[in-house]
């Protein structure tokens, strides 16, 4: 049995500061009390486990991964500490409890990767400049309207992405991954977890900590593929609002695989708007699309070359 929790980190709407150096694995640190409370709640939910039949099955293994963003690393580190307080380390055998700060080109949890450029660790954004501009513009407009789901100013910039559709036509000089690719990257991460742990007799829980907007994008993609609801601007904007807008910190999507050819997805996991059983083929399709049509690696190479020339 395998359960994936893909969650937004404990911070606000800040994006990783791309192009900055000294982004290391050791960004341990304290969180604000309200943030730590959310971490504690997530740890409890993970340890309670997933429903299997008429009972709940707690995890035999817990693995935590995060993007190379300071707040994501702090969230993962504090989550590890909280789980260790509740479940003593000696209850997990070697290799059954781990935290991985995913930082290389295989990082699939979001739109940010870390790379060594001229001897320095640098966070690279795979987003197109126009996408970031649309996010910021939409966020400013929505924050001024104080919509019901608008909890913090500027957080709903993803609605600006919806105006592009899942498959934005890229213009010359505006290279970057699309909304579909961002969602498919997380789908690939979950599919890898299922391939690695899904057939085991024990229950493995995997927590992926990522940045704002990444989880919502994955949920939108899953929902649209399940309902075959299309990717037009109006459709996507309607879906985004129907699913509740931007997630609160430490909320996300929960996916359970129980060794059948099905997955069960709940989103947002703290107060689900949808709880659906869907075929594993949806994740397979995302994996195949990413392998065939994804541009993450060439975009990453382009960003690295640009930063190397300017550093």
**Are the C-beta atoms of residues 154 and 245 closer than 8 Å to each other?**
no
3-state secondary structure 40-77: HHHHHHHHHCEEECCEEECCCEEEEEECCCHHHHHHHH
In angstroms, rounded to a whole number, what is the distance separating the alpha carbons of residues 255 and 5?
7
Q: How confident is the model at residue 5 (pLDDT cuts 50, 70, 90)?
A: very high
DSSP letters, 70-136, are HHHHHHHHHHHHHHHHHS-GGGS-TTSEEEEE--STT--SSSEEEEEETTEEEEEE-B-HHHHHHHH
With the CA atoms of 86, 90, 95 and 97 taken in that order, what torsion angle do they form, in degrees rounded to the nearest 10?
A: 0
């640098």: which residue's tokens? 122
**Are the C-beta atoms of residues 1 and 57 closer than 8 Å to each other?**
yes
Determine if the peptide bond prior to 293 is cis (ω within 30°): no
Q: Give Cα separations from 168 to 68, 163, 177 (angstroms).
A: 26, 9, 9
Q: How confident is the model at residue 36 (pLDDT cuts 50, 70, 90)?
A: confident
Domain 2-310 has CATH 3.30.160: no
In angstroms, rounded to a whole number, what is the distance separating the alpha carbons of residues 257 and 265?
9
184's tokens: 């498919």
Q: pLDDT per residue over 94-127, tens digit each?
A: 667 776 655 454 578 888 888 888 878 788 888 8
For the entire predicted model, the pTM comes to 0.85
Q: pLDDT per residue over 180-202, tens digit each?
A: 899 999 999 999 999 999 998 88
In angstroms, rounded to a whole number, what is the distance separating the alpha carbons of residues 206 and 2?
8
Domain edges within the chain: 2-310
180's tokens: 């579909």
């Amino acid at each position: 049995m395998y359960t994936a929790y893909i969650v937004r980190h404990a911070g606000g709407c800040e994006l990783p500061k791309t192009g900055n150096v000294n982004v290391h694995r050791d960004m341990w640190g304290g969180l604000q009390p309200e943030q730590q409370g959310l971490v504690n709640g997530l740890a409890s939910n993970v340890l309670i486990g997933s429903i299997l039949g008429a009972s709940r099955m707690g995890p035999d293994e817990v693995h935590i991964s995060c993007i190379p963003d300071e707040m994501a690393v702090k969230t993962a580190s504090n989550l590890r500490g909280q789980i260790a307080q509740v479940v003593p380390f000696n209850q997990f055998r070697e290799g059954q409890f781990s935290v991985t700060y995913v930082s290389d080109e295989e990082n699939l949890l979001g739109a940010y990767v870390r790379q060594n450029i001229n001897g320095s660790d640098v966070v690279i954004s795979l987003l197109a400049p126009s996408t970031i501009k649309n996010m910021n513009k939409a966020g400013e407009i929505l924050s001024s309207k104080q919509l019901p789901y608008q909890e913090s100013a500027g957080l709903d910039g993803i609605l600006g992405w919806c105006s592009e559709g899942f498959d934005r036509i890229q213009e010359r000089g505006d290279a970057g991954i699309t909304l579909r690719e961002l969602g498919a990257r997380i789908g690939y991460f979950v599919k890898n977890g299922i391939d690695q742990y899904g057939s085991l007799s024990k229950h493995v829980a995997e927590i992926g900590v990522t940045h704002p907007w990444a989880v919502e994008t994955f949920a939108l993609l899953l929902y649209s593929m399940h309902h075959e609801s299309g990717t037009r601007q109006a459709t996507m904007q309607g879906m985004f609002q129907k699913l509740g807008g931007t997630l609160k910190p430490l909320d996300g999507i929960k996916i359970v695989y129980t060794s059948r050819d099905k997955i069960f997805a709940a989103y947002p996991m703290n107060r689900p708007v949808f709880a659906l059983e869907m075929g594993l083929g949806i994740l397979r399709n995302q994996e195949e699309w990413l392998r065939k049509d994804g541009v993450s690696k060439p975009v990453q190479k382009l960003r690295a070359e640009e930063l190397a020339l300017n550093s």
